[in-house]
Amino acid sequence: MNAMPPLLDQIDRRIVTATQGGLPLVPRPFAEIAGWLNLREDQVIERVQRLQDRGIIRRIAIAPNHYALGMTANGMSVWDVEDDRAIELGEQVGALDFVTHSYLRPRARPIWPYNLFAMIHGPDRETVEAQRQQIAGILGDACRASDILYSTRILKKTGLRLARDK
C-alpha cells in the first residue's frame, strides 16, 4: 500500500514555521523571510500562493487586539439552529461586520444543544446584546435556543503552531 505524500515538503514547512507568528513588519516581508531561509523572494511568494490555493494557508491577515481597540465586551454567541438551514443562516451571520468568526459544530445533547457559534465584539455588553438581537432576527423561527458566553480574559491569541524542525 502506498503512503500518502506529506502535505508540506521541507521548504514549505520552513516557510510556514517562519511565518506562523506573523509576517515581519517591513516594506517587503517576503524578501525578509526569503533571507531568513536562504531562498529567493519569488520562491517564497510562489510557495505561499500555492499553500493558499491548496487550502493549507487560509488567509494572510492582521489580527488586531480587540481589547486595545476598545472592544472589551466579547461574547461567543451560541445558537440551536435547524440543521437544514444552518449553513445558509450561518453564512448570513458570518457576513455581519461585528462577527469576527462563525462556524458550525456538532451538538453534545442533552447538555449542549447548540450547533452555530458566532463571536461578537463590542465596546460594552449593551452593544453586544443589541448585535445578538440582530443575529436572532436573521435566524428567526429556525432558531430554538441561544446563549452567550462572555470572555473575561485572553488565554490564547494564536492559531495552530507547527513544531520547529530540530
Here the cell at position 27 is 516594506
Coil vs helix vs strand at 59: coil
Amino acid making up residue 127: T
pLDDT value of residue 69: 77
> Measuring CA to CA, how many Å separate 132 from each of 59, 93, 159, 165?
27, 10, 26, 44
pLDDT value of residue 133: 98
Mean pLDDT of 138-156: 90
Coil vs helix vs strand at 33: helix
pLDDT tens, residue by residue, 102-139: 999 999 999 999 999 999 999 999 999 999 999 999 99
**How far is the first Cα of the chain from the last one, in angstroms, to the nearest whole number?**
29
- Cα–Cα distance for residue pair 12/47, rounded to 1 Å: 7
- Cα–Cα distance for residue pair 78/157, rounded to 1 Å: 20
Beta-carbon contacts of residue 58 (< 8 Å; ≥ 6 apart): 52
- Cα–Cα distance for residue pair 56/16, rounded to 1 Å: 10
pLDDT tens, residue by residue, 56-108: 888 887 777 777 777 778 999 999 999 999 999 999 999 999 998 899 999 99
DSSP-derived letter for residue 3 is P
- Cα–Cα distance for residue pair 41/166, rounded to 1 Å: 24
Q: Cα–chain-centroid distance for residue 120?
A: 13
